[in-house]
Amino acid sequence: MEELAALAASGTTSLVGLMVSGSWNHARERVGRFFARDIYLSGRELADKLARGMEHIHAWRIQALTRDVSAGEAGR
């Protein structure tokens, strides 16, 4: 948790530093794109995207567990 707080503080410091420097015009566009990347999706589209991601993670997990069990049985 401390690492996350340190990362957030560092990001905030960098963002504020850009705001007071001449680099803000360039950085503002990139920061805006970062936060708005999925804002155009409807609630249903966002839910579908999340469901597909969860299905992918679940399939990967099952594959990893099956591989671990198979490797354990082969070692006997």
What is the rounded CA–CA span in Å between residue 37 and residue 28? 14
Enumerate the domain spans of the chain.
Answer: 1-37, 41-76
Q: Is the pTM for the entire model greater than 0.75?
A: no
Of residues 43 and 57, more confidence is placed in 57
What is the rounded CA–CA span in Å between residue 64 and residue 30? 36
Contact call for residues 38 and 49 (beta carbons, < 8 A): yes
Per-residue model confidence as pLDDT tens digits over 4-32 = 788 778 877 777 776 666 666 777 777 77
Per-residue model confidence as pLDDT tens digits over 28-55 = 777 777 767 767 777 788 788 888 888 9
Q: Which two tokens stand for residue 11?
A: 């990001």
The pLDDT value recorded for residue 23 is: 67
